[in-house]
Structure 1
Amino acid sequence: MDKIKQPVTLILLIPIALILLIVAYSSSQTYEQQTLIPVMKSLSAPDWLRTAMDQISFTYAGSLVSTQSLGYAGFTEFFLRKGAHVVIFFSVSFFLFRLLIHLIPSVKKAAILNLTLVILFAFSDEFHQYLTGGGRTPTFHDIILDTTGGILGLAVAFGVFVRYKKQRENWGRS
């Protein structure tokens, strides 16, 4: 690796490393250590929001998700947790693509490696939760959710890359 790429590579590694450390810490905690339900029970939602939440009911990983089955706090926590899956894996994928495109000249190879690593990370996260136990329920559904976040992150990173590349080409012509 040439001397110019080394500092940039290290800078691009920082957000990935931070996110991976946060995920490793989070997935090592039991459900009881990280539940938000006690805090959310102390908060009050407006009536119109409670009415809207009461209308939502579906099955996720074989379990009913509704205010009737989980309560308002549990229902809200479900969406916060699943949203966190998407946001975290979006972020990992976005920053990972930035790093890989810096290291690998082929966009296609960088994208394939990115997606492969994101999926492996999703599997390892669920496996880590399995080993942790303590009320954590690793599911294949969460791996799908993580992968979806990763695909979205890759798509946005790719879009940013294409736009940046076009701008650089236009700057070179002026």
Structure 2
Amino acid sequence: MRWTVLDSPIGEFSVATDGHHVCRAQFGRAGGAVEEPGDEVARRAVAELRAYFAGELTDFTVPLAAPGGSDFERGVWREMTGVPYGETLTYGEVARRLGDRGAARAVGVACNRNPVPVLVPCHRIVGAGGKLVGFGGGLDRKVTLLELEAGVALRRAWS
């Protein structure tokens, strides 16, 4: 894997590619990360992330290959990709959709283990009643991402 880092409204953000897919992403600078993408997938990922942070992109198309995770975690990650831009779901609602109403805490753990945050939008999963609880990148980043998406969604709805 090769890491590329970019500046964003949530600070430095790193993505790793295997030459064919984005397979990891993390908040901050990954060890050994470079500013110039080393392959076409990394170039696409950086371009899409920059467009997303600029409010110009609402759906990522770069290929992803999220490594690891239990069957349950992969199910949570799939559910997260289905949450529309600018909207949220609760941990409990994701658990219900996966057939286990009592698994809200497990959904939170799976969100925290998401290997490609932002690209797989774990920030769109919130606590009961819309409460902002827990986020691997810190609640300040979660708020920034949700505010970005809400603002873009409102501008598009009203234009």
Higher relative contact order (CA 8 A, sep 6+): 1
Task: Tell me which protein shows more strand as a share of its residues.
Answer: 2
User: Could you say which TM-score interval applies, normalised by the shorter chain?
Assistant: under 0.3
Task: Tell me which protein shows more helix as a share of its residues.
Answer: 1
Larger Rg: 1
TM-score of the pair, normalised by structure 1:
0.25
